[in-house]
């Protein structure tokens, strides 16, 4: 098990990590330097974010290599570096040593990270892959579906954290399939319990928005949410600080118990 974070996170308060990938998507649409993802990250920092997430995809469709270097240089907040478990990405992570590395599955043809990482079927390779990252001081997180076999394997391969993929639940809700959504939420709750019992830190993310964040934020073991696409989209209308403040308020409200205690 890896030691606790070297960053002074506020104990007890669920953390909000802001994924700034889609600021880079917008920049790349014109091929210039604007809008600048580092500026968005600094604005998020000033608006009360607890971390910044950036995904360097193999095809560099949004975040580019120079963004990672610039974020590492500019940020006081911890950087959560999302990446596929490839040799190229491991070398980049070891060069920068970000606070956290979140391993995600990646397929070129997908629009976003569609599923969880296959940990159970790739345990030997992942154990070897995670070792040097953990030794370099990165907290290694695995992005997994709410599946007991994957959670158990995540603990076995030496991860410090699992990030539960909330995308399936968000899709079921959006499709109005309330029974299936309730069943998926129950799986997320039980995966969070299982992971925490195994000593893993529990994060969650994907597809979260102002109107659906509550039930996930309320899962007691979930200490961090990572949210991107909705917040960057909402920022077009209300600005990034207001979009973040709205999310923060909903997360805090969801954590308040029946007696008013957080
Ligand atoms: N967490 C992980 C591991 C992801 O891959 C993503 C999407 O890049 C997110 C969180 C954020 O998802 P969204 O952009 O839908 O909020």
Q: Is the dihedral of CA 162, 114, 137, 222 positive or negative?
A: negative
* DSSP result, 149-196: HHHHHHHHTT-SEEEEE-HHHHHHHHTT-HHHHHHHHHHHHHHHHHHH
- Cβ neighbours of 188 (radius 10 Å): 22
Query: Given ligand 1 and candidates 15, 58, 82, which is best to mutate, with the most ligand atoms within 8 Å of its CB?
Result: 82
Q: Are 201 and 155 in contact (CB under 8 A)?
A: no
pLDDT at 4: 43
Confidence class for position 9, pLDDT limits 50, 70, 90: low
pLDDT for 7 beyond 60: no
pLDDT, average across residues 238-248:
98
Q: Which of 22, 62, 82, 203 is catalytic?
A: 82
> What are 170's two structure tokens?
């968000």
pLDDT, average across residues 60-80:
97
pLDDT at 112: 79
Confidence class for position 241, pLDDT limits 50, 70, 90: very high
Q: What percent of the chain has pLDDT over 90?
A: 89
Confidence class for position 258, pLDDT limits 50, 70, 90: low
**DSSP at 122:** G
Cα–Cα distance measured from residue 124 to residue 22, given in angstroms and rounded to the nearest whole number: 33
112-153 pLDDT, tens digit each: 778 899 999 999 999 999 999 999 999 999 999 999 999 999
pLDDT for 220 beyond 70: yes
Residue partners of 141: CB distance under 8 A and separation at least 6: 80, 100, 101, 102, 103, 159, 160, 161, 162, 163, 201, 203
Q: What percent of the chain has pLDDT over 70?
A: 94
For 64, counting Cβ atoms within 10 Å of its Cβ (0-12 exposed, 13-18 middle, 19+ buried), the class is middle
pLDDT for 207 beyond 70: yes
144 Cα–ligand 1 center, Å? 12
80 Cα–ligand 1 center, Å? 11
Structural domains of the chain ordered from first start: 16-254 (3.20.20.70)
Residue nearest to atom 4 of ligand 1 (CA): 206
Q: Compute the mean pLDDT over every residue in the chain, rounded to the nearest whole number.
A: 94
Cis peptide, bond prior to residue 235, ω within 30 of zero: no
| Cα distances (Å, whole numbers) of residue 78 to 7, 62, 103, 138 | 7, 20, 16, 11
Is 55 assigned a catalytic role? Answer: yes
* CA-angle at 78, arms to 232 and 109, nearest 5°: 50
163 Cα–ligand 1 center, Å? 10
The whole-model pTM stands at 0.94
pLDDT at 154: 98
If one compares 115 and 69, the residue with the highest pLDDT of the two is 69
pLDDT for 192 beyond 80: yes
Paired with 93 in beta bridges are none
pLDDT for 99 beyond 60: yes
Residue list, ligand 1 pocket, CB within 6 Å: 19, 21, 55, 82, 102, 104, 112-113, 143, 163, 205-208, 226-230
- Report the atom number in ligand 1 closest to the C-alpha of 229: 14
228 Cα–ligand 1 center, Å? 6
pLDDT for 172 beyond 80: yes
């Amino acid at each position: 098990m890896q030691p606790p974070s070297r960053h002074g996170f506020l104990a007890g308060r669920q953390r909000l990590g802001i994924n700034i990938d889609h600021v880079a998507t917008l920049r790349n649409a014109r091929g210039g330097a604007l809008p600048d993802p580092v500026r968005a990250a600094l604005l998020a920092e000033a608006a009360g974010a607890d971390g910044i997430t950036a995904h360097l995809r193999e095809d560099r469709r949004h975040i580019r290599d120079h963004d990672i270097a610039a974020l590492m240089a500019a940020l006081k907040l911890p950087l959560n570096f999302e990446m596929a478990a490839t040799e190229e990405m491991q070398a980049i992570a070891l060069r920068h040593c970000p606070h956290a590395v979140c391993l995600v599955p990646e397929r070129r043809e997908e629009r976003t990270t569609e599923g969880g990482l296959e940990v159970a079927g790739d345990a030997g390779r992942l154990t070897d892959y995670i070792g040097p990252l953990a030794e370099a001081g990165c907290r290694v997180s695995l992005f997994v579906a709410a599946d007991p076999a994957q959670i158990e394997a995540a603990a076995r391969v030496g991860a410090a954290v699992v990030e539960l993929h909330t995308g399936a639940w968000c899709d079921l809700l959006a499709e109005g399939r309330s029974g299936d959504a309730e069943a998926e939420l129950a799986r997320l709750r039980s995966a969070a319990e299982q992971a925490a019992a195994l000593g893993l830190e529990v994060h969650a993310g994907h597809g979260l928005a102002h109107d659906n964040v509550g039930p996930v934020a309320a899962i007691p073991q979930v200490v961090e949410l990572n949210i991107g696409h909705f917040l960057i989209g909402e920022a077009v209308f209300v600005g990034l600080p207001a979009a973040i403040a709205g999310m923060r308020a909903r997360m805090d409200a969801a954590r308040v118990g029946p007696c008013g205690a957080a």
